Amino acid sequence: MATVGLWKAPSRNSLGFISERSELRATPSRSLSFASSNLSGDKLISSVFFQRRCSVAHSDGRVPFIVSPKAVSDSRNSQTCLDPEASRSVLGIILGGGAGTRLYPLTKKRAKPAVPLGANYRLIDIPVSNCLNSNISKIYVLTQFNSASLNRHLSRAYASNMGGYKNEGFVEVLAAQQSPENPNWFQVQAYLYDGYWEDIGTIEAFYNANLGITKKPVPDFSFYDRSSPIYTQPRYLPPSKMLNADVTDSVIGEGCVIKSCKIHHSVVGLRSCISEGAIIEDTLLMGADYYETDADRRFLAAKGSVPVGIGKNSHIKRAIIDKNARIGENVKIINSDNVQEAARETDGYFIKSGIVTVIKDALIPSGTVI
């Protein structure tokens, strides 16, 4: 799950998914297991496809349900599915990636697919939306680390009680385990994709991919394609409020409060609070998971602490600020010494490839210079 791309599905027999017409190829038997009773099997002998008649056990007695994104899209302009039978005969498998060590500290408290992207989304929303837009509504996400927030996001984003996909489906997370009796994985068929693709497995690549959506006149990756909408969790947030702010070449997420500050060539995540006099340049702000009331902020200020958000007269340039970070007043995060690598986890930040990354829930005291 270290890539972002927009996938428009070819016919089903050219995809590496379940197909009732696919042929079995003789290969040595291998065993596959998952850390979940929802999907299990002793031996799969097709080297290219799972065959439709192979059974999938549901030992917990679960009744399959209808899956549909809660996001609102324009059905008249949505992509026409290239295979109307796909929702019954195709199972989508999304590889969720490993520990995400190259993206650390963004993966310190979350699985790689749950890392925020483009102000309102998470990485997992891209491949799930691609599947749903291609009428593939039975989806497993395989992951191995810190999957709690990923589970929470998927359960909230993709409903089990809404229409829109007429065939039974699901979006579920499975923790994959390779069987110790055979160290080899299964062979699958690959589909040559020549559209937008970006390896976002490193901090620098992830930073560039996010800032790429602000590029003009045409962004590297567009969330505004009506034929292929990108779905995500509905948060029912109010519109962002900008009071006497100077905002240029930037993307602003939902529910932000931006006061008398300057923002240039940046991505500002949902619920971000940016105070008077702040300057944000070439920066990815991931926002916050919650709001603090005015009373909370006054209480924190009275005891010398820092509210969530960006404090007054702070200057942030070429940085990634993870969720719920507390940046005090008159803070400078500009890396004026051009440090390329530094690990200051106890101080709440890392520097990789010259990009300062402030850790989730970190507190940067007022007057700090990084």
Q: How many separate domains does the chain show?
A: 2
What pTM was computed for the model? 0.71
Q: What is the mean pLDDT of the chain?
A: 77
pLDDT of residue 95: 84
The first and second tokens of residue 185, run together, are 């994985």
Domain coverage including residue 79: 3-210
Do 206 and 248 lie in one domain? The reply is no
Do 130 and 78 lie in one domain? The reply is yes
Do 199 and 286 lie in one domain? The reply is no
Rounded Cα–Cα distance for residues 74 and 188 (Å): 34
pLDDT for 136-150, tens place per residue? 888 888 887 788 888
Do 49 and 95 lie in one domain? The reply is yes
Q: What's the CATH code of the domain at 282? A: 2.160.10.10
How does 148-179 read in b/e, with b if 16+ C-beta sit within 10 Å?
A: ebbeebbeebbbeeeeebebebbbbbbebeee
Residue 227 within a domain: no
Q: Which of 24-33, 326-335, 355-364 is least confident?
A: 24-33
Under a CB-based contact definition with an 8 Å cutoff, are residues 258 and 245 in contact? yes
Do 205 and 291 lie in one domain? The reply is no
Q: Does the N-terminal peptide bond of residue 219 adopt cis geometry, omega within 30 degrees of 0? A: no
Higher pLDDT: 15 or 320? It is 320
Do 321 and 181 lie in one domain? The reply is no
Do 167 and 291 lie in one domain? The reply is no
Residue range 348-368: mean pLDDT, rounded: 95
DSSP assignment, residue 114? Answer: G
Do 200 and 304 lie in one domain? The reply is no
